[in-house]
Amino acid sequence: MNMEFNKLFAAALVAGIVAMLAGFVANHAYLPEKLKENAYPIEVTEVAAGGEAAAPAGPEPVGDLLASADVAHGEKLSKVCAACHTFNSGGANRVGPNLWHVVGGKHAHAAGFAYSDAMKAKAGEVWTVEALNEFLWNPRKALPGTKMVYAGMKKPEDRAAMIKYLESLK
Put residue 88 in one of left, alpha, beta given phi > 0 → left and psi -120 to 50 → alpha.
beta
How far apart CA 57 and CA 70 sit, in angstroms, is 26
What is the predicted pLDDT for the residue at 36?
78
What is the predicted pLDDT for the residue at 30?
80
Under the banding of pLDDT at 50, 70 and 90, the label for residue 143 is very high
Under the banding of pLDDT at 50, 70 and 90, the label for residue 2 is confident
Cβ neighbours, 10 Å, residue 130: 13
* Domains, the chain, with CATH or none: 63-168 (1.10.760.10)
Q: Over 70: is that where the pLDDT of 48 sits?
A: no
Q: Summarize pLDDT for 70-117 with one digit per residue, the tens.
A: 999 999 999 999 999 999 999 999 999 999 999 999 999 998 899 999
